[in-house]
Structure 1
Amino acid sequence: MLFALSYSGYQDWLNKLSSQILLWSVAVTNSILVFTNEWHGLIWNGFTNNEQLDNVLIFQHGPGFYGLFLQIMFSFWRYFFPLESHAKCF
């Protein structure tokens, strides 16, 4: 993401502290939620065995997983359907 923004001419936007905090907050929040999942269960609630295949576990996703999934889908949507003011960049 940092490379793409720098390459497309948004270097001055990347130099702002608020922009860097915004970009890094998603990755840091996701990492913290995954590493502390045993305490709160927001990413995974549990695991179940697959009846048809041996040695395969199925994850039971928690609400945090779906929140992160929606955030990623929104990012893809904004990439493929940019705002009218940013459409000339592509």
Structure 2
Amino acid sequence: MRWHDRALCCLYILTSLWLTWTTVLEALNGPLWAALAYGASSLVPLAAIVEQGELVDLRQAARWYAARARHHRDTALLHDALCHPRPGRRGAR
């Protein structure tokens, strides 16, 4: 995870904690429907944390596949250059 991914997860956690605290205060002093609404909304940042983790995993997989493709392309170019020299180059038949 990069630093801004971690910072975003920290903001999500702080938002969820604030909404949970608001839920407790609303349950003690306000109407029940408002407490239930705050309680439900406190789960949304937790879902965002899971989604952020999946995005990080997908980015890492994309980087791995890109590096693998570069390696295979470079290997194929080297093989082509060594096994099938072009006419007019040194070592060509």
TM tier, shorter chain? 0.3 to 0.5
Structure in which a larger fraction of residues adopt strand: 1
Tell me the TM-score normalised to structure 1 length.
Answer: 0.38
Higher helix share: 2
The structure with more radius of gyration = 2
TM score, norm. by length of structure 2: 0.37
Higher relative contact order (CA 8 A, sep 6+): 2
